Amino acid sequence: MPDSHPPASAPSKASDLLVAALEREGVEYIFAVPGEENLDLLESLRTSSIELVLTRHEQGAGFMAATYGRLTGKTGVCMATLGPGATNLATAAAYAHLGAMPLIMITGQKPIKKSKQGRFQIIDIVNLFDPICKMSKQIVHGNTIPALIREAFRTAEEERPGAVLLELPEDIAAEETDASVLQPHPRHYAVAGDAVLNEAAEMIRAAKMPLLLVGAGANRRKARSALCDFTDLIQIPFFNTQMGKGVVDERSDLFLGTAALSDGDYLHCAIDRADLIINVGHDVVEKPPFFMEEGGTKVIHVNYKAAQVDRVYFPQLEVVGDLAQSITRLGKILGGPLDFDRSYFERVKRETDEHISEGADDPRFPVIPQRLVADTRKVMDECDIIALDNGIYKLWYARNYKAYQPNTVLLDNALATMGAGLPSAMMAAKLNPDRRVMAICGDGGFMMNSQEMETAVRLGLNLVVTVLNDSAYGMIRWKQAHAGFGDWGLEFNNPDFVQYAGSYGATGHRIERTEDLLPTFEKAFDAGGVHLIDVPVDYSENQRVLIEELADKVCLI
């Protein structure tokens, strides 16, 4: 908030003070399933500037709040009651913790000064959440609220971002306090020193075949401009991880692909040939985009924090500090295009582009993944957003769907939880009402939080929900077959998704011919409101392409 904002007067009740502190931090929304223990806080919110977004499950509230943090860089806030309400936030806490999304969860609790209900619904939430949060504390006095809220927001947003839990007992919420809120202040990161930047520049100049890798950590803090300028200036080929998609425009002639797999893909022919990788924004939570070996490819680590070294990641040089400034200053030191032979990387790019374009017009029905991805890309503009749940289709979108801007492909390559795709898309749609937003979910993951369709309709969102229907937990079924086990235990029945959507006030569509897919996408977006599209999908291409074809691949010599 701007410094000119006058200080809030001290409220008479602790819950009022907490809401005033949240307002001072710039909180716009609280996503919640309130309970009895939250009633004082709920009453304080009623007259505040903060919008309460009531969801149908605590997971939905947590996923929406975490996605708010992911998209804005500001902390998302959600609320739940004690006991089962709080435990239902655990998956969302882990989602934010591994995915580096700033999130604050406020949970209720029975009175701590005097209780007449014994241990009813009471579990130790603070200690339960401690391993999956950056900070987990109980508020024990109203006067501590201003400092705790300021510290919670600083902790949640500071690199590496993550989750914070604050437990507010109902007797503390109701007590009087004479404290005042604290003024937030911006956080500035240190800048890497000249010595290490000069050393990095010398390593890059000495390399014969360097590559740039864009990881999840570069998809924050507005690093896009610095990285785009850097790649253009020194003309270095680049690739990205799944959560680094779109930071640098993937239509670039320098883009080699997304490391959706850890090894064995077409892209890895280039990675294996590189003698230096400039690894920008590396995050160990993602599936490794490459494996280091003693005496092998050298790595320069560029990030806000030092590397977490393990047996497959031990960079030879670490450039630690503000990521964008480090890259900008490194580009100035290098001064212009690198002098090396790019012909091999260019051949790999052609091979990769040809590979991922196969099947884009395939008319088979049920729809194959390549056609699904291609039609999705056709209907989405460069700033439009897709939000993926978790399943085998996520690999197809990571490999085949080119992202043009940061955070236009919302996928989870960290916790990789099912059930987050729909709430994540809802948050993107609420923040970006003028952009097309599509949730892409498997039928298994969709049904885990499908009740949030009601929330989406109630909020008046413009949202298309594409449900990939194979009546099974498809990724595990595919892996079961690949492991040589019998096809057993992973199939289920689905509701009639068209009627299901209608029961919530949304519009349902069923695809019965592949050629109807793209027109149905367009029709749904043009109509506005919430639409569900039931798409029967054929995953037989998983085995042919991702197993057999890649096993037969021979890297270009």
The predicted-structure confidence for 218-259, as pLDDT tens digits, reads as follows 998 779 999 999 999 999 999 999 999 999 999 999 999 999
Computed over every residue of the chain, the mean pLDDT equals: 94
- Fold of the domain spanning 358-548: Rossmann fold (3.40.50)
pLDDT digits (tens, 9 = 90+) for 137-196: 999 999 999 999 999 999 999 999 999 999 999 999 999 999 999 999 888 888 899 999
Cis peptide before 160 (omega within 30 of 0): yes
- Please write the tens of the pLDDT for every residue from 534-550: 999 999 998 898 888 88
Name the CATH superfamily for 194-343: TPP-binding domain (3.40.50.1220)
Structure confidence at residue 399 (pLDDT): 95
The maximal CA–CA distance of the chain, rounded, in angstroms, is 76
Q: Do the Cβ atoms of 465 and 532 come closer than 8 Å?
A: yes
Identical fold, 194-343 and 358-548: yes
Strands 76-80 vs 103-109: parallel, antiparallel or unpaired: parallel
pTM of the model: 0.95
**Domain ranges, ordered by start, for the chain:** 12-177, 194-343, 358-548
Residues 12-177: name the CATH superfamily: Thiamin diphosphate (ThDP)-binding fold, Pyr/PP domains (3.40.50.970)
303 sits in which H/E element:
strand 298-303
- Written as six digits, the tokens of 473 are 């937990």
Q: Tell how strand 463-469 and strand 530-536 pair up.
A: parallel
Calpha distance 239→389 (Å, rounded): 23
User: In whole angstroms, what is the distance from residue 59 CA to residue 379 CA?
Assistant: 30
Cα 365 to Cα 89, 181, 478, 506, 508, distances in angstroms: 39, 60, 19, 25, 19
The count of C-alpha atoms lying within 13 angstroms of the C-alpha of 481, restricted to the half-sphere facing its C-beta, is: 13
Mean pLDDT of all residues in 427-445: 98
Compute the average pLDDT of residues 6-28.
85
pLDDT in tens, 313-361: 999 999 999 999 999 999 999 999 999 999 999 999 999 999 999 999 9
More confident residue, 8 or 376: 376
The pLDDT tens digits for 451-473 are 999 999 999 999 999 999 999 99
